[in-house]
Amino acid sequence: MPQFDTVIRSQRVVTQEGVVPAAVGIRSGRVTAVCSYDAPLCSDRETDLGTVALLPGGIDLDVTVQPPGRPLREGYAATDTAALRGGVTTMVITPAPADPAITRLVALDTHATAAAKTTAHVVFLGGITARSTPADLADLRAAGAAGFHCSLSGEGPGAFVDDTRLHKAMAEAAAMEVPLFVHAEDARELVTPARAGNSAFLASRPPRAERRGLERVVAAARATGARTHVSPFTAAECAAVLAAARAIGVPITAHTCPHYLCLPAEHVPDDSPAHRCRPPLRSGANRDALWRALLSTEDSAITTIGSGHRPGTGVAALPWTLPALWTAAARRGRGLADLVRWTAAAPAELIRLHAKGRIASGYDADLVAFDTAAQQTVPADDPGPYAGRSLNGRITRTWVGGRDAFPPEEGSYALSERREIPIHAGDGRPGAQQWG
């Protein structure tokens, strides 16, 4: 009889074959067996989750870690804590905003050093600006960058790319066989907000900015064949542009975030910085249309969903991403298999993390216990966009490489050095806001 380090049993294990009762055997940080729920397995440690579901750990694309004015290492530590609380076991780090931005090899080395003690896995994207050279991209790729990121509307000198640089970036990414992530709002369609407030910010970044940008991105992707991922995608009226491109073979997909799927602009405080993101939150009608595009019975271009975490400069929502998404998705009749596809399997496939995103023999034992029946209220003083809202679902445990990461093991780095973000249980008070 094989000896496992750990066995985790659940009546609802999310596998490629469906949601099934199973026992998962783990050895040396990897899943080495998925057996029947009551299989007699010998192990050093065993956990029976009962009806609490067991999911593969989330792979969160397009995460930033550094609030303005905070040291980079502190940003990684705080974001790591938030990720583990939220069931995210792999963070894909976008190159900016950050100091330094990951546009040169020396900057990537700085980030790797700052992230050295994180418990969650960290994957880096290299940044492409108007000043990037082919040598810069080659150096970043050789050092392990899993892909590249550019913007059509970044801020600061050289922060966004024109059509010539976009085509070159795509050609270079295609030659390296890695994806290019693109923030697709067209800078030429943006204006300075007429006043303070989220409504004015929304008016300054209309859906046509995404449409114009998408048209540019599709043209470049069609010419170069580069695997292109629009991140984030928010303007549902542009879904037809993506669908038409995919119908003619353009390798383009899109990423969105739970706040775009859950929080209509009409229902958030106009003066709240916690709801100010780029692109902005859009109308309830847009939210409903975005769901229709995501849930299309045909080939949906929206393949991945992640937090869009931007501490200090936008939405900071990592700990609540999975419950928020589950709350809204379950109301639309979607199940755990959909959740795992959007947050784990599809992201792993996109950036070719071949040992992640599934619960199967040979895959990394990055796992999440998710109680779908639990209810919680986000504390009113939470700095993110879900403060005071009622959510369904709770992450009760997270494992990274088969080891307890949340709650952290006694004496671990997660316990001893990361206390910035308190763990709130949620008191289930009546009258909490509903949405989604």
CA distance 177 to 179: 7
Q: What angle do CA 305, 58, 140 make, to 5 degrees?
A: 85
pLDDT of residue 53: 98
Average pLDDT (338-355) is 98
pLDDT tens per residue, range 17-44: 999 999 999 999 999 999 999 999 999 9
Average pLDDT (96-118) is 96
pLDDT of residue 435: 59
Of 343, 246, 345, the C-alpha closest to 299 is: 246
**CA-to-CA dists, residue 251 to 216, 233, 373, angstroms:** 14, 16, 38
pLDDT tens per residue, range 158-167: 678 999 999 9
Token duo for residue 306: 């992640």
What is the Cα gyration radius of the chain?
21
* Higher per-residue pLDDT: 45 or 422: 45
Task: Kindly tell me if the per-residue pLDDT of 411 is higher than 50.
Answer: no
3-state helix, strand, coil in the chain (%, to 5): 35, 25, 40
* Summary count for the chain: helices (H), strands (E): 13, 16
Question: What domains sit in the chain, N to C, each tagged with a CATH number?
Answer: 3-54+360-417 (2.30.40.10), 57-350 (3.20.20.140)
pLDDT of residue 420: 32
Task: Kindly tell me if the per-residue pLDDT of 238 is higher than 80.
Answer: yes
* SS3 of residue 77 by DSSP: helix
**CA-to-CA dists, residue 122 to 60, 108, 169, 252, 279, angstroms:** 10, 12, 23, 24, 25
Is the separation of the CB atoms in 406 and 84 below 8 Å?
Answer: yes
CA distance 76 to 146: 18
> Dihedral of CA 253/257/258/263: which sign?
negative
pLDDT tens per residue, range 378-387: 999 999 999 9
- Eight-state DSSP code of residue 274: G
> H helices of 180-310, where?
198-204, 207-224, 239-247, 258-262, 284-294
What is the bridge-based pairing of β-strands 252-256 and 302-305? parallel
Give every CB contact of residue 315 below 8 A, 6+ residues apart in sequence. 257, 259, 274, 275, 276, 277, 307, 308, 309, 384, 385
Mean pLDDT of the chain: 92
Give every CB contact of residue 102 below 8 A, 6+ residues apart in sequence. 93, 95, 96, 108, 111, 124, 125, 126, 127, 140, 145
Average pLDDT (183-193) is 95
Give every CB contact of residue 299 below 8 A, 6+ residues apart in sequence. 243, 246
pLDDT of residue 151: 96
Token duo for residue 279: 């692109």
Token duo for residue 196: 């303070």
pLDDT tens per residue, range 116-143: 999 999 999 999 999 999 999 999 999 9
Q: What angle do CA 390, 391, 396 make, to 5 degrees?
A: 130
Q: What percent of the chain has pLDDT over 90?
A: 88
Q: What is the pTM of this model?
A: 0.93
Is the separation of the CB atoms in 12 and 393 below 8 Å?
Answer: no
Of 391, 338, 402, 337, the C-alpha closest to 368 is: 402
